[in-house]
């Protein structure tokens, strides 16, 4: 270590120089990995779309539609509040994956996909699954929001939504679902909150409620978008 | 050579010096996570030790700790970006514990106690030895926890299709229990070695 007569200015200059070189190096590494990170993220998103759609309903991520809850269809992801990915069986629309986000969870935003099925009538609409794409919640607490989601819900060791938060949204009829977040005394149509993570649980429940209510309200318009695309093809 | 070997047994950062306990207990639920974390720690330790040793005559003593942290944080961010780009499963499993390598006492400890006072080659060997010691510590603990708590090792089922594993081992209490037994085992071996001269 430099023990000679050091002035404060020298000390500041050295740390600034080290920080500048480090920042430059990091900028290079970030530029070199940015494309790959984006591709990895897209691949994960495509895989998750397949997971939240019902069985035998094939995801077609090329036909995604950017949607703004105020203005309807928009051109880019930046303008969108939701993104819809359709699923088809024998050329017929059989499911919808809705990408949405909770803006104010405990540690920031949570991006998630909600799979919907039974699109014939708004009253029949059902949630199939929930999948969290991005979250920065506290490990061991709010991060449990994503526990068990990579496994087929029927293969999970427990169906209790208190143990696996994703089970709150598995195969639930929207017309009966309350979205009430409860720590105890919850029914199958309530949301069982993660212990000691009520803020996270509520943020997800509110985001799912907003997105699904919007889809229920605009269901004919949204399904028509994909039926038109199929007809044009 | 002593610089390389001491971190593996005599001064093993995990099982002898008990440094970096928080990430160790958190990520050792599966052997693959332990390997990912161990390799990340080796890369950061060697790179930070080499850089700090090279700069040891330039870094002012007054601001040495901020300088060390800047260097360590740079290498940790490189690990974070590379894992995110090329090993997304490990990146997602290790989560917040990758950025937290910045404040891991093994790394800052070696920078302060060794790299800032020794030449480059010795510092690199010290970082490598300590890193390998940390990797072995992570792996041993993770292997015990995964085998007993999940019935698998590297996701390979060891006890047939329908085992009844002791779930407690992949939960936090199992981490402490397993760590206690590993440290006791290591102490017993060391005591026997000393007794035999």
Per-residue model confidence as pLDDT tens digits over B130-149: 999 999 999 999 999 999 98
Does A1 contact B63 at a Cβ distance shorter than 8 Å? no
Domain limits of chain B?
2-195
Residue of chain B minimizing CA distance to A135: B95
pLDDT, tens only, A194-221: 988 899 999 999 999 999 999 999 999 9
- Identity of the residue in B59, B77, B97 whose CB atom sits nearest the CB atom of A1: B59
Rounded average pLDDT over A8-32: 94
Residue of chain B minimizing CA distance to A10: B60
pLDDT value of position B33: 85
Reply yes or no on whether the pLDDT at B32 is more than 60.
yes
Q: What is the pTM of this model?
A: 0.76
- Identity of the residue in B26, B57, B78 whose CB atom sits nearest the CB atom of A2: B57
Domain limits of chain A?
38-232
Reply yes or no on whether the pLDDT at A150 is more than 70.
yes
Helix axes B31-54, B64-86, angle to 10 degrees: 140
pLDDT value of position B23: 81
- Identity of the residue in A11, A30, A33 whose CB atom sits nearest the CB atom of B60: A11
Residue of chain B minimizing CA distance to A139: B96
pLDDT value of position A3: 53
pLDDT value of position B108: 93
Residue with tokens 């610089």: B3
Q: Is the CB of residue A139 less than 8 Å away from at least one CB of chain B?
A: yes
Reply yes or no on whether the pLDDT at A4 is more than 90.
no
Rounded average pLDDT over B59-78: 94
- Identity of the residue in A1, A33, A44 whose CB atom sits nearest the CB atom of B61: A1
Does B63 contact A15 at a Cβ distance shorter than 8 Å? yes
> Is the distance from CB of A136 to CB of A113 less than 8 angstroms?
no
Does A37 contact B62 at a Cβ distance shorter than 8 Å? no
Kindly report the nearest CA distance between residue B55 and chain A, in angstroms: 8
Interface of B with A (CB under 8 A): 26, 55-64, 66-67, 70-71, 73-74, 77-78, 81-82, 84-86, 88, 95-97, 116-117
DSSP state for residue B100 in the 8-state scheme: G
Hey, how many other C-beta atoms are within 10 angstroms of the C-beta on B78? Answer: 21
CA A150 – CA A132 distance, rounded (Å) = 10
Q: Which two tokens stand for residue B98?
A: 């990758």
Task: Collect all residues of chain A within an 8 Å Cβ-Cβ radius of residue B67.
Answer: 14-15, 18
ipTM score assigned to the predicted complex: 0.80
CA A128 – CA A174 distance, rounded (Å) = 10
Does A2 contact B60 at a Cβ distance shorter than 8 Å? yes
Reply yes or no on whether the pLDDT at B85 is more than 70.
yes
A118-125: long-range pairs with CB below 8 Å, 24+: A119/A93, A119/A94, A119/A95, A119/A219, A119/A223, A121/A219, A122/A216, A122/A217, A122/A219, A123/A175, A124/A175, A125/A173, A125/A174, A125/A175, A125/A212, A125/A215, A125/A216, A125/A219
pLDDT value of position B65: 93
Does B84 contact A33 at a Cβ distance shorter than 8 Å? yes
Kindly report the nearest CA distance between residue B197 and chain A, in angstroms: 39
- Which of A6-10, A157-161, A180-184, A214-218 is the least confident region? A6-10
More confident residue, B172 or B69: B69
Kindly report the nearest CA distance between residue B35 and chain A, in angstroms: 20
Kindly report the nearest CA distance between residue A165 and chain B, in angstroms: 18
- Which of A186-195, B23-32, B156-165 is the least confident region? B156-165
């Amino acid at each position: 270590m430099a023990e000679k007569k050091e002035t404060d200015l020298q000390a500041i200059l050295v740390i600034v120089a080290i920080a500048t070189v480090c920042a430059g190096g990091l900028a290079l590494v970030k530029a070199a990995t940015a494309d790959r990170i984006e591709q990895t993220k897209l691949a994960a998103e495509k895989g998750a779309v397949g997971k939240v759609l019902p069985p035998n309903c094939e995801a077609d991520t090329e036909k995604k539609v950017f949607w703004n809850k105020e203005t309807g269809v928009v051109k880019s992801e930046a303008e969108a509040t939701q993104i819809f990915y359709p699923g088809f069986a024998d050329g017929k629309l059989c499911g919808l994956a809705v990408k949405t986000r909770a803006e104010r969870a405990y540690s920031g935003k949570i991006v998630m996909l909600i799979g919907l099925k039974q699109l014939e009538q708004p009253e029949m609409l059902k949630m199939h699954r929930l999948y969290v794409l991005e979250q920065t919640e506290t490990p061991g607490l709010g991060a449990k929001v994503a526990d068990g989601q990579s496994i087929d819900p029927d293969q999970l060791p427990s169906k209790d939504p208190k143990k696996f938060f994703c089970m709150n949204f598995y195969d639930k009829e929207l017309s009966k679902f309350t979205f009430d977040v409860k720590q105890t005394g919850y029914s199958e149509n309530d949301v069982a909150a993660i212990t000691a993570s009520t803020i996270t649980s509520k943020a997800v429940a509110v985001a799912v409620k907003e997105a699904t209510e919007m889809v229920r309200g605009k269901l004919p318009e949204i399904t028509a978008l994909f039926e038109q695309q199929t007809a044009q093809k | 050579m002593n610089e390389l070997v001491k971190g593996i047994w005599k001064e093993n950062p995990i099982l002898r010096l008990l440094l970096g306990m928080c990430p160790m207990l958190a990520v050792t639920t599966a052997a693959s996570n332990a390997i990912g974390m161990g390799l990340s720690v080796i890369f950061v330790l060697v790179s930070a030790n080499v850089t700090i040793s090279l700069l040891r005559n330039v870094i002012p003593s007054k601001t040495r700790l901020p300088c060390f942290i800047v260097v360590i944080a740079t290498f940790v961010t490189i690990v974070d970006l590379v894992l995110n780009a090329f090993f997304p499963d490990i990146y997602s499993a290790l989560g917040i514990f990758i950025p937290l390598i910045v404040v891991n006492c093994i790394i800052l400890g070696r920078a302060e106690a060794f790299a800032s006072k020794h030449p480059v080659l010795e510092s690199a060997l010290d970082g490598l030895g300590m890193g390998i010691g940390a990797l072995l510590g992570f792996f041993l603990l993770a292997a015990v926890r995964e085998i007993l708590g999940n019935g698998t090792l590297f996701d390979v089922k060891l006890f047939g299709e329908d085992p009844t594993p002791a779930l407690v081992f992949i939960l936090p209490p199992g981490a402490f229990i397993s760590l206690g037994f590993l440290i006791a085992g290591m102490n017993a071996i060391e005591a026997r070695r000393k007794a035999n001269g």
